[in-house]
């Protein structure tokens, strides 16, 4: 497999480079450059023709790099593993359109454990029903830009699926007034060097259930991204997520 690593010089780019097999990453893209055993180009328009075609792009850059990445991928018929967060609705539609011609993997979180947490959250919400209130709490390092996290939003979608689409998001909580029955509170904590923690809390009459995932090191996301890339290389056009990669 031949990987192009987008966002190579970021923290996650370095983590992917450490976890990849020797020679697996053939080049990178990052405006900041970087010291790697493979060439790093400032943008996708600077990437030269390869003697052998790149099989898959792993992208840990920023949402605003999406258009040029997809443009390169569709022109060269390269699979994509999109790991960035903070996409707009218009960008999500651009991803969907691209998936009609190339294989595209997208997940707000690359951890295998989070994929299982998402599945369990849907099941719990479906089984517990309206007798339980649901709240989602997430914590990340003090440099994270978006809140709530993409993973927290993904977990809201999971519990909402289990509740047949009856839930509404409430980002944060302040002021006067009782909690609405159908709302799911989303609470974001930011501080220190936390790699990522997510908890889905179900509050019922006289009992409480918490489903929680803690990432102890950001390399767990790099391992998941490489696993997804190996799965995506050679797939047919379509939109994929971690469910297919781990067989859920």
Active-site annotation, residues: 140, 144
Q: How far is CA 34 from the centre of its chain?
A: 24
Are 12 and 221 spatial neighbours (Cβ–Cβ below 8 Å)?
A: yes
Rounded Cα–Cα distance for residues 111 and 114 (Å): 5
Which candidate, 209, 91, 241, 212, places its Cα nearest to that of 152?
Answer: 212
* Phi-psi region at 129: left, alpha or beta (left = phi > 0; alpha = psi -120 to 50): left
Are 16 and 40 spatial neighbours (Cβ–Cβ below 8 Å)?
A: no
């Amino acid at each position: 497999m031949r990987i192009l690593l987008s966002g190579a010089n970021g923290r996650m780019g370095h983590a992917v480079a450490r976890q990849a097999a020797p020679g697996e990453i053939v080049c990178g893209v990052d405006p900041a450059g970087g010291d790697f055993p493979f060439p790093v180009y400032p943008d996708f328009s600077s990437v030269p023709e390869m003697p052998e075609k790149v099989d898959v792009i792993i992208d840990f850059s920023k949402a605003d790099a999406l258009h040029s990445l997809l443009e390169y991928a569709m022109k060269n018929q390269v699979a994509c593993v999109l790991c960035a967060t903070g996409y707009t609705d218009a960008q999500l539609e651009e991803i969907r359109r691209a998936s009609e011609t190339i294989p595209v993997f997208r997940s707000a979180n690359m951890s295998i454990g989070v994929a299982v947490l998402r599945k369990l959250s849907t099941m719990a919400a479906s089984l517990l029903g309206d007798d339980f209130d649901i709240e989602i709490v997430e914590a990340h390092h003090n440099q994270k830009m978006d809140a709530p996290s993409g993973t927290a939003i993904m977990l809201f979608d999971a519990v909402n699926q289990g509740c047949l689409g009856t839930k509404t998001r409430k980002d944060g909580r302040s002021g006067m007034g009782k909690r609405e029955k159908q709302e799911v509170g989303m609470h974001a904590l930011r501080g220190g060097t936390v790699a990522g923690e997510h908890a889905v809390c179900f509050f019922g009459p006289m009992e409480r259930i918490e489903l929680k995932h803690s990432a102890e090191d950001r390399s767990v996301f790099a391992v998941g991204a490489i696993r997804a890339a190996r799965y995506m290389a050679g797939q047919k056009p379509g939109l994929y997520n971690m469910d297919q990669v781990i067989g859920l």
